């Protein structure tokens, strides 16, 4: 049974393509369409890793990450931030919020795969 | 004794004793370095009077500004009276003896008298009792020293006169020093006065970017009331956003030894400000170290600026939005490419081959598009002053090989031959891997674009212990000298025609040079050998970029 990954992004196409790619690599994928949904799914599904888009409606990625880290049930789940902003400041904010890494769109799918393996293994 | 002409000194008939000269110079030498004309004149008159056992000694100088002869010092007149003893000078008049406020016995009327005779031995009371020696500054007689004995004193000899003449040469040098110094102090004071009253903020700094001076306007504009800034680094004095814009301008201005100006909209502690920032190198030492000046003006209230600012913010915002908007679809396309393989579309070898080709095409073009998007976003950040480097030590050769590898297809299309000259023992350099990678990519890409088909592109590296140089030379059309700075401007295209063979948005070299400058390095076009056009990138060793 593959590891479970929660993909939270408000862009459906991104979600689909990441899901298809990671499923082809043997992961089990759960998706969330906004920040609140992401928090909800994280608690229910207990994924092994969360890919969290930074800009999402309702609750943004920074907030979601902080809330995940503040909750004992989800605090241990590694979070990788995904963002369209290459600004160093956003990256630092992401890491400060508790993310283990930060990748910038458009990323190479292979690089994402490598990163996930690095974190999970 | 009266009337008798002066004889060579002493009974032995020799010239003046070497001892006398020695005593003279020993006594005078501390005075020559004096920074005050008054102090020098006072000291010199006393010394010479003492040395020649004279009753009185005075210095009179011509003051060109007021066209007056002025008494600078006299041993026999109370000091309080010196300044008031002066009189209008006529053409050619160089000196006179003042014995008192009322007595203005004029002894010398023209420079010509000195030209002919140098020092003058005058007779009064029927014997030589007066020596008048010229004070010559910059080959002009600027004044005289008068040395006089009383009626009953021993007469002066020719040797005394020569000694006085020698003393005057030394004193004249001292006068020049003191005058220069006093003038420079005056100029300095005046400049400071002007600087303070300017309605533009000015900060002066030294080679290490430490503040040496700020004026009142600068304080009002950008500093907290009462902030102490002298001797502190600019980085600590200016808010970060402003500092980075300034640093870039300063580096650029020093690099080109020219004034650089830019208008920048910055979000600072006291709100958004539109500043016109001018950087100018001041004194540049041979090693490229420069003092400099920054002039900063608040132009936010100008109507024209307001309009431009709106247009600018719309443009910047538009570029940013569009780049962000492009990133999402690019992510999707990129992510979808590896999925093609899994579609089961390839039923035989030829369709598998075609699928591979399609995949390559998609990959190459998505990468190209991402490159443009990243470049635009970086340029927006450079213009905002918000681009931060993230440095760590890297193996430059490895990085260069990687970038060349990424361009292998473009190079193959042009049949470019890479001619490598890797410098041995290249030390590790602390750089922002991503940004420098982009800069190298632009430079290699540029070399390929402009290289004639089949020609070599020379890639060399070397170090002089202080900097690492990366030499990228192609044999394309030479770039005219006057265009060598223009090509680094934003949106510059060498070939403006619609049929141009080379493409690009005109941001690559702008980005590359700014990346070099942010690393405290440089990027220039120089001539290589036999018509080679060289882009020379220099990076400093041993000083990781500030944002490490």
Dist. CA A72–CA A97, nearest whole Å: 15
Share of chain B above pLDDT 70, in %: 85
Q: What is the mean pLDDT of residues B344-361?
A: 74
Which chain A residue shows the shortest CA-CA distance from B380?
A87
Q: How confident is the model at residue B348 (pLDDT cuts 50, 70, 90)?
A: confident
With contact defined as beta carbons under 8 Å apart, do A94 and A65 qualify?
Answer: yes
Q: Which residues contact B183 (CB under 8 A, 6 or more apart)?
A: none
Residue B204 pLDDT > 70:
yes
Confidence of residue B474 (pLDDT cuts 50, 70, 90): very high
The pair of three-digit structure tokens given for residue B165, joined into one six-digit string: 């003449």
**Looking at chain A, which residue has its C-alpha nearest residue B366?**
A106
Scanning every residue of chain B, which has its alpha carbon at the shortest distance from the alpha carbon of A87? B387
In the DSSP assignment, the letter for residue A21 is H
Give bridge partners of residue B144 from the DSSP assignment: B60, B134
Contact criterion met (CB < 8 Å) for B336 and A87: no
Question: What is the rounded average pLDDT for all residues in chain B?
Answer: 80
DSSP string, B223-281: S-TT---TTSBHHHHS-HHHHHHHHHHHHHHHHHTS-EEEEEEEEETTEEEEEEEEEEE
CA distance A6 to chain B (A): 17
- Measured between beta carbons, the chain A residues lying within 8 angstroms of B388 are 88-89
> Does the beta carbon of A26 lie under 8 angstroms from any beta carbon of chain B?
no
Neighboring chain A residues of B328 at a CB cutoff of 8 Å: 11, 13-14, 84, 105
A21 with B374: Cβ contact below 8 A: no
Which chain A residues have a beta carbon less than 8 Å from that of B338?
21, 24, 109-110
Q: Do A106 and B339 touch (CB under 8 A)?
A: no
Lowest mean pLDDT segment, chosen from A102-116, B159-173, B282-296, B469-483: B282-296
Could you tell me the pLDDT band of residue B11, with boundaries at 50, 70 and 90? very low
- pTM attached to this predicted model: 0.51
Nearest residue, CB atoms, B338 vs list A11, A13, A21 = A21
Q: Out of B35-39, B73-77, B243-247, B490-494, which region has the weakest mean confidence (pLDDT)?
A: B490-494
Q: Which residue has the tokens 């049929």?
A: B499
Contact B328 A11 (CB under 8 A): yes
Predicted pLDDT of residue B10: 40
Residue B505 has pLDDT above 60, yes or no: yes
Best mutation target among A12, A20, A51, A86 (most B Cβ atoms within 10 Å) is A86
Q: What is the mean pLDDT of residues B379-393?
A: 78
How crowded is the C-beta side of B337, counted as CA atoms within 13 Å? 22
Q: Judge: B331–A17 Cβ closer than 8 Å, yes or no.
A: yes
* Residue B96 DSSP one-character state: -
Report whether B153 contacts B164 (CB < 8 A).
no
CB contact under 8 A, B334 and A20: no
Using CB atoms, which residue from A85, A87, A109 is nearest to B335? A109
Interface test with chain A among B241, B328, B386, B392, by most A beta carbons within 10 Å: B328
- Distance of alpha carbon B44 from alpha carbon B59, whole angstroms: 9
Query: How high is the pLDDT of residue B244?
Result: 81
Residues of B with CB under 8 A from a CB of A: 324, 327-339, 342, 366, 370, 374, 377-378, 381, 386, 388, 390
Contact of B500 with B485, CB cutoff 8 Å: no
Per DSSP, B404 falls in state H
Residue B158: predicted pLDDT:
85
Closest among B386, B211, B291, B278 to B219, alpha carbons compared = B211
Task: Judge whether A11 is closer than 8 Å to chain B, CB to CB.
Answer: yes
Query: What is the pLDDT confidence band of residue B498, given thresholds at 50, 70 and 90?
Result: very low
The CA angle B265-B268-B269, to the nearest 5 degrees, is 160
B73 and B38 Cβ atoms separated by less than 8 Å: yes
Per the document, the length of chain B is: 548
DSSP letters for B169-209:
HHHHHHHHHHHHHHHHHHHHHHHHHHHHH-SSEEEEE-TT-
Edge to edge, the sheet with strand B522-527 lists B417-421, B456-463, B467-474, B533-540, B522-527
Higher-confidence residue of B352 and B509: namely B509
Q: Is the distance from CB of B519 to CB of B442 less than 8 angstroms?
A: no
Q: What is the mean pLDDT of residues B507-519?
A: 88
Q: Show the tokens assigned to B151.
A: 């009626």
Q: Tell me if ipTM is over 0.90.
A: no
**Residue A13 Cα, gap to closest chain B Cα (Å):** 6
pLDDT at A32 over 90: yes
Residue B515 has pLDDT above 50, yes or no: yes
- CA distances for B460 relative to A20, A72, A77, B424, B531, angstroms: 45, 56, 48, 11, 17
Q: Which residues in chain B have Cβ-Cβ distances shorter than 8 Å to A26?
A: none
How close A71 comes to chain B (CA, Å)?
30
Q: SS3 of B315, please?
A: helix
Nearest CA in chain A to B434: A86
Q: Rounded distance, CA A64 to CA B435, Å? A: 30
Q: Which residues pair with B17 in a beta bridge?
A: none
Hey, are the CB atoms on B335 and A14 less than 8 Å from each other? yes
- Tell whether the model's pLDDT for residue B121 goes beyond 70: yes
Establish if A107 touches chain B: CB-CB under 8 angstroms. Answer: yes
Residue A86, chain B, CB below 8 Å: the answer is yes
Flag if B334 and A86 touch (Cβ within 8 Å).
Answer: no
> What integer pLDDT is reported at residue B316 of this predicted model?
74
CA distance B332 to chain A (A): 5
HEC-encoded secondary structure of B45-76? HHHHHHHCCCCEEEEEEEECCCCEEEEEEECC
Q: How many Å lie between the alpha carbon of B182 and the closest alpha carbon of chain A?
A: 53
Range name among B4-18, B130-144, B373-387 with the lowest pLDDT average: B4-18
């Amino acid at each position: 049974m593959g590891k479970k990954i929660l993909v939270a992004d408000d862009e459906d196409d991104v979600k689909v393509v990441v899901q298809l790619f990671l499923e082809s690599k043997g992961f089990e994928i759960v998706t969330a369409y906004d920040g609140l949904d992401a928090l909800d799914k994280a608690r229910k599904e207990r994924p092994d890793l969360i890919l969290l888009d930074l800009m999402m409606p309702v609750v943004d990625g920074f907030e979601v990450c902080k809330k995940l880290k503040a909750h004992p049930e989800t605090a241990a789940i590694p979070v990788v931030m995904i963002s369209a902003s290459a600004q160093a400041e956003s990256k630092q904010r992401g890491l400060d919020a508790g993310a283990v890494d930060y990748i910038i769109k458009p990323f190479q799918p292979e690089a994402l795969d490598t990163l996930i393996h690095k974190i999970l293994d | 004794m009266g009337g008798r002409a002066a004889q060579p000194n002493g009974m032995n008939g020799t010239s003046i004793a070497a001892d006398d000269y020695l005593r003279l110079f020993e006594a005078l030498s501390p005075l020559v370095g004096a920074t005050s004309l008054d102090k020098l004149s006072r000291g010199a008159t006393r010394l010479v009077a003492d040395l020649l056992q004279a009753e009185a000694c005075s210095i009179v100088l011509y003051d060109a500004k007021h066209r007056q002869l002025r008494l600078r010092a006299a041993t026999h007149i109370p000091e309080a009276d010196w300044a008031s003893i002066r009189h209008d000078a006529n053409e050619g008049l160089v000196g006179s003896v003042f014995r008192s406020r009322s007595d203005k016995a004029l002894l010398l009327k023209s420079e010509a008298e000195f030209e002919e005779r140098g020092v003058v031995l005058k007779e009064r009371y029927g014997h030589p009792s007066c020596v008048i020696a010229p004070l010559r500054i910059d080959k002009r007689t600027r004044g005289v020293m008068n040395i006089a004995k009383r009626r009953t004193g021993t007469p002066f000899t020719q040797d005394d006169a020569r000694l006085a003449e020698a003393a005057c040469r030394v004193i004249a040098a001292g006068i020049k020093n003191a005058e220069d110094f006093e003038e420079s102090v005056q100029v300095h004071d005046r400049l400071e006065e002007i600087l303070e009253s300017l309605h533009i903020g000015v900060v002066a700094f030294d080679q290490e970017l430490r503040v040496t001076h700020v004026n009142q306007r600068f304080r009002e504009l950008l500093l907290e009331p009462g902030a102490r800034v002298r001797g502190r680094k600019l980085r600590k004095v200016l808010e970060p956003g402003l500092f980075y814009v300034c640093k870039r301008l300063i580096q650029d201005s020093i690099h080109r030894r020219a004034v650089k100006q830019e208008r920048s909209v910055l979000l600072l502690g006291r709100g958004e400000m539109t500043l016109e920032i001018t950087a100018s190198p001041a004194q540049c030492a041979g090693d490229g170290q420069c003092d400099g000046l920054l002039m900063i003006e608040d132009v936010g209230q100008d109507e024209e600026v307001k309009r431009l600012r709106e247009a600018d913010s719309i443009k910047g915002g538009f570029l940013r939005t569009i780049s962000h908007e492009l990133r999402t679809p690019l992510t999707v396309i990129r992510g979808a490419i590896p999925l093609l393989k899994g579609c089961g579309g390839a039923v035989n070898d030829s369709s598998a081959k075609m699928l591979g080709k399609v995949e390559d095409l998609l990959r190459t073009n998505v990468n190209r598009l991402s490159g443009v998007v990243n470049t635009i976003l970086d340029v927006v950040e450079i213009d905002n002053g918000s681009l931060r480097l993230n440095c760590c030590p890297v193996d430059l050769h490895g990085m260069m090989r990687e970038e060349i590898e990424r361009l292998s297809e473009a190079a193959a299309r042009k049949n470019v031959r890479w001619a490598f000259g890797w410098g041995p023992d290249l030390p590790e350099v602390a750089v922002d891997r991503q940004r420098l990678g982009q800069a190298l990519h632009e430079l290699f890409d540029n070399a390929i674009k402009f290289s004639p088909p089949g020609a070599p592109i020379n890639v060399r590296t070397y170090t002089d212990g202080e900097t690492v140089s990366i030499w990228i030379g192609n044999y394309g059309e030479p770039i005219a000298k006057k265009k060598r700075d223009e090509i680094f401007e934003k949106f510059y295209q060498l070939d403006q025609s619609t049929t141009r063979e080379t493409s690009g948005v005109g941001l690559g070299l702008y980005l590359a040079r700014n990346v070099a400058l942010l690393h405290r390095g440089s990027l220039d076009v120089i001539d290589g050998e036999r018509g080679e056009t060289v882009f020379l990138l220099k990076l400093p060793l041993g000083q990781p970029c500030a944002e490490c």
